[in-house]
């Protein structure tokens, strides 16, 4: 069991942060009143809590409605004026025009420092008296405790987790959590009681500004919110935030209090979101819920991360030693090949595009090889759940020689060792580079009589795991290969230049027992250089490749023409594609 953390002991004098409630209201007095009463019935443990109420104006109305609308507004203003808030300052912002939910949310806050937190509630919410106890615990445990802090977490949602924002037909896995799980990480923002952390929110505001000004729309295919956006446009804000979160790879903390309980519930009163009242979405957790200890918070490393499709994300898979490659292989799906992808000469955008294809094709078994610890990709890929081998570090862990070899030589040697690891773990291995793009999830050559296949055209290497391949590709083999690589490459200027693993391996095989089976894959693989205008791909194309020398702009242009450039101007996938697991 996990250690229990108790923060709210009376010894802790004052909070290291400020906390403000941002209440977004409109024309629903009874909702607003219910919401305010629940907020003022909560326990604040002597902390100062300010309350900001934003009241949107009614839109232009016909003269017949005008009197009623004015009266309603004045009633609401009278109510909030008279409402006693004893925990801090109360501030009322009454708008002069109808701005809608987008501006209500976005203009509610501009963080002025990193110790400022807000909790945004719409007026049809009701919160538990214990909601602040949890929020304070979350802030202290996941923001101020260094060992549990992640800059990729943008806040916490107090609503019950639901996965209704994915388009029908493309919906991912049902939210499945065991009864022990109290907290987990999931990208979606919850609009029913959302705690926001200052930095990501400020970043979002700047991102929104940039995209709005340039006329870029928050379109993310596969999400229901994209449909909402097409219908409601700038009335709503969630499509913008979701697009931002998706592009940055940020996460939200969610609670799992079982039995449809939560610390914040929406009564789903009629308004922008609901045509008619839909009733509360869950039960409020309160003091009588003795089975839940709100402050029993696990360390961040023990929490589970999920993507939009509610599939596990495994951040932090980085191998700096050969033995750590085995740890990565343990997390891979059995029965499927492992794609070993060299990123020696790749650009960020090409890699991002490749990752989107992996997502689309449901390819999960892949490992990227980055040159060294300085590689920019090393900071982005593992945190988003993409496993990475740091080539120079793994090289150092294998050879104790202090010889300064080129990165190409190091990578070539490390690949031989990693392939051996894959074979030992029972995985077939596909060795590709970022100048290749698989178009099907498990490209099949007509395997018959060998374990080592080379695509004549694509320069893809396939190593099948079998007792005979493990016998050939053994420790002696990799040691011999490693000892020969340097000479092979230095003797051949072509190898030195193109650095293709298959070319080097073929050269090695000439003088050794390795029998590579050359497969004529010219009908399966397609060279990007051959694209002309509107040409479409032959139907059975399984792999696209291009010369490593081809410039990025041409690669981008050709892939775009083929409909295979599936990232947007932020280099993030244009769509969320879910697969049943
Ligand atoms: C509301 O009325 C004002 C003044 O009559 C007008 O300028 C504005 O365009 C109207 N807005 C809408 C949304 O109809
Ligand atoms: C910070 O978190 C770690 C890991 O969960 C925990 O061991 C430690 O006690 C926490 N520190 C404080 C001051 O609560
Ligand atoms: C490629 O396909 C064409 C047309 O089907 C066929 O004639 C040719 O023999 C094939 N080439 C190879 C190498 O399989
Ligand atoms: C590509 O297709 C478009 C529309 O079908 C056509 O207008 C254009 O001329 C074509 N371009 C080439 C190079 O064939």
Residue 197 is predicted with a pLDDT of 98
342 and 428 both lie in a single domain = yes
Report pTM: 0.91
* Residue 523: inside a domain: yes
Strand partners, 55: 25, 94
Atom of ligand 1 nearest to the CA of 60: 1
User: Which residue is associated with the tokens 């909601």?
Assistant: 131
Residues 341, 286 share a domain: no
The number of residues in the chain equals 581
403 within some domain: yes
Ligand 2 pocket, residue 299 CB under 6 Å: yes
Q: Which of 280, 306, 332 is the last residue of a domain?
A: 306
13-69, pLDDT tens digit by residue? 456 899 999 999 999 999 999 999 999 999 999 999 999 999 999 998 777 889 999
pLDDT at position 408 = 92
pLDDT at 445: 62
**Does residue 277 sit in the same domain as residue 353?**
no
| Same domain (yes/no): 302, 321 | no
Q: Are residue 340 and residue 222 in the same domain, yes or no?
A: no
Q: Which of 252, 285, 306 is the last residue of a domain?
A: 306
Whether 9 maps to a domain, the answer reads no
Dihedral, CA of residue 398, residue 408, residue 564 and residue 311, to nearest 10 = 10
Q: How many domains does the chain have?
A: 2
Residues 363 and 233 in one domain: no
Q: Is 11 in the pocket of ligand 2 (CB under 6 A)?
A: no
CA-nearest residue for atom 1, ligand 4, is 534
pLDDT at residue number 525: 85
Q: What residue ranges line ligand 4, CB within 6 angstroms?
A: 533-534
Residue 249 shares a structural domain with residue 340: no
The residue nearest atom 4 of ligand 4, judged by CA position, is 534
pLDDT attached to residue 164: 53
Does the beta carbon of 522 sit less than 6 angstroms from any atom of ligand 3?
Answer: yes
CA atoms of 579 and 173, how far apart (whole Å): 8
Give the closest residue to 195 by CA, choosing from 156, 242, 162: 156
Q: Please tell me the distance between residue 520's alpha carbon and the centre of ligand 3 in angstroms.
A: 9
Question: Are residues 362 and 290 part of one domain?
Answer: no
8 Å CB contact between 390 and 370:
yes
Give yes or no for a contact between 304 and 385, defined as CB atoms under 8 angstroms apart.
no
- State which of 533, 558, 563 you would mutate to test the pocket of ligand 4, scoring each by most atoms of that ligand within 8 A of its C-beta: 533
Of 255, 282, 306, which marks where a domain is finished? 306
- In 3D, which of 8, 308, 309, 34 has the Cα closest to residue 136? 8
How many Cα atoms occupy the beta-carbon half-sphere of 518 within 13 Å? 9
Q: Are residues 287 and 320 in the same domain?
A: no
Atom 8 of ligand 3, nearest CA residue:
523
pLDDT classification of 2: cutoffs 50, 70, 90: very low
Tell me if 562 sits within 8 A of 533, measured CB to CB.
no
Q: Which domain holds residue 57?
A: 18-306
Atom from ligand 4 closest to the CA of residue 532: 13
What confidence tens digit (pLDDT) does each residue in 427-441 have?
Answer: 999 999 889 999 988
Is residue 145's pLDDT more than 80? yes
Assigned domain for 325 exists: yes
Q: Quick one: pLDDT band at residue 278, thresholds 50, 70, 90?
A: low
Q: Is the CB of 518 under 6 A from ligand 3?
A: no
319 and 380 both lie in a single domain = yes
DSSP string, 164-219: TTBPTTS--------TT--EEEES---SSSEEE-HHHHHHHHHHHHHHHHTT----
pLDDT in tens, 232-260: 999 999 999 999 999 999 999 999 988 88
CATH number at residue 260: 3.90.550.10
Residue 87 and residue 66 share a domain: yes
The answer as to whether 476 is a domain residue is no
Contact (Cβ atoms closer than 8 angstroms) between residue 368 and residue 341: yes
Closest to 20 measured CA to CA, from 92, 116, 142: 116
Nearest ligand, measured from the Cα of 148: 2
The string of pLDDT tens digits covering residues 447-472 is 667 889 998 888 899 999 999 999 99
> Which uninterrupted H or E stretch holds 100?
helix 100-106
- Bridge partners of 50, per DSSP, are 20
Q: What is the CATH number of the domain that holds 377?
A: 3.90.550
Name the residue of 456, 458, 522, 523 to mutate for ligand 3: max ligand atoms within 8 A of Cβ: 523
At residue 11, does pLDDT exceed 80?
no
pLDDT at position 10 is 43
Domain assignment present for 323: yes
Q: Is the CB of 283 under 6 A from ligand 2?
A: no
Q: Is the residue at 224 inside a domain?
A: yes
Structure tokens at 240: 């913008």
523 within ligand 3 shell (Cβ under 6 A): yes
Provide the sign of the torsion angle of the four alpha carbons 208, 214, 215, 221, taken in this order.
Answer: negative
Q: What residue's CA is closest to ligand 4, atom 8?
A: 534
Is residue 574, in this structure, part of any structural domain at all?
no
Do 550 and 412 sit in the same domain of this protein? yes
Considering Cα of 435, then 441, then 445, then 448, what sign does the dihedral take?
positive
Nearest 5°: the CA angle 143, 144, 147 is: 85
| Average pLDDT of the residues in 372-387 | 94
The Cα–Cα gap between 326 and 425 comes to: 8
User: Average pLDDT of the chain?
Assistant: 89
HSE, CB side, 13 Å, CA atoms: give it for residue 270: 3
């Amino acid at each position: 069991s996990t250690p229990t953390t108790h923060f709210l002991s009376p010894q802790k004098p004052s909070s290291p942060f400020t906390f403000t409630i941002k209440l977004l209201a409109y024309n629903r007095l009874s909702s607003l009143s219910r919401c305010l009463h629940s907020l003022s019935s909560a326990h604040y443990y002597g902390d100062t809590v300010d309350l900001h109420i934003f009241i949107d104006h009614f839109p232009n109305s016909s003269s017949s409605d005008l009197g009623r609308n004015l009266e309603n507004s004045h009633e609401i203003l009278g109510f909030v004026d008279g409402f006693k808030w004893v925990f801090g300052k109360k501030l009322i912002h009454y708008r002069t025009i109808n701005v809608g939910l987008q501006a209500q949310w976005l203009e509610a806050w501009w963080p002025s420092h990193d110790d400022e937190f807000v909790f945004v509630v719409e007026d049809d919410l009701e919160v538990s008296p214990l909601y602040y106890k949890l929020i304070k615990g979350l802030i202290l445990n996941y923001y101020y405790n260094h060992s549990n802090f992640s800059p990729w977490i943008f806040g916490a949602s107090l609503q019950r987790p639901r996965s209704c924002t994915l388009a029908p037909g493309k919906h991912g896995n049902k939210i499945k959590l065991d009864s022990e799980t109290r907290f987990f990480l999931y990208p979606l923002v919850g609009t029913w009681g959302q705690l926001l952390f200052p930095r990501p929110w400020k970043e979002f505001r700047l991102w929104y500004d940039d995209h709005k000004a340039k006329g870029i729309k928050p379109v993310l295919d596969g999400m229901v919110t994209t449909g909402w956006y097409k219908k409601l446009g700038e009335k709503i804000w969630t499509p913008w935030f979701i697009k931002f979160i998706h592009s940055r790879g940020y996460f939200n903390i969610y609670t799992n209090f079982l039995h449809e309980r939560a610390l914040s519930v929406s009564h789903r009163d009629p308004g922008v979101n609901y045509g008619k009242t839909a009733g509360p979405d869950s039960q409020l957790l309160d003091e009588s819920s003795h089975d839940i200890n709100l402050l029993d918070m696990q360390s961040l490393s023990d929490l589970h991360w999920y993507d939009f499709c509610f599939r596990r994300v495994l951040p932090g898979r980085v191998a700096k030693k050969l033995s750590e490659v085995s740890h990565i292989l343990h997390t891979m799906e059995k029965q499927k090949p492992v794609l070993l992808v060299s990123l020696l000469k790749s650009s960020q955008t090409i890699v991002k595009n490749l990752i989107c294809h992996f997502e689309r094709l449901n390819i999960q078994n892949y490992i990227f090889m980055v040159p060294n610890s300085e590689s920019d990709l090393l900071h982005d890929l593992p945190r988003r759940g993409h496993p990475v081998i740091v080539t120079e570090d793994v090289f150092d862990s294998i050879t104790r020689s202090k010889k300064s070899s080129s990165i190409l030589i190091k990578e070539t040697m490390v690949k031989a060792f990693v392939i051996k690891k894959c074979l030992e773990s029972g995985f077939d291995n596909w060795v590709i580079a970022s100048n290749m793009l698989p178009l099907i999830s498990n490209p099949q050559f007509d395997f018959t009589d060998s374990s080592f296949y080379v695509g004549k055209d694509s320069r893809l290497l396939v190593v099948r795991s079998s007792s005979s391949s493990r016998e050939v590709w053994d420790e002696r083999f990799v040691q011999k290969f490693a000892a020969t690589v340097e000479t092979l490459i230095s003797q051949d200027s072509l190898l030195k230049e193109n650095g293709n693993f298959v070319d080097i391996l073929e050269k090695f095989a000439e003088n050794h027992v390795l029998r590579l089976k050359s497969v004529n894959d010219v009908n399966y693989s397609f060279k990007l250089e051959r694209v002309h205008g509107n040409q479409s791909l032959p139907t059975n194309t399984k792999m696209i490749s291009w010369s490593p020398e081809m410039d990025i702009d041409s690669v981008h242009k050709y892939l775009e023409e083929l409909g295979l450039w599936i990232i947007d101007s932020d280099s993030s996938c244009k769509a969320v594609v879910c697969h049943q697991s």
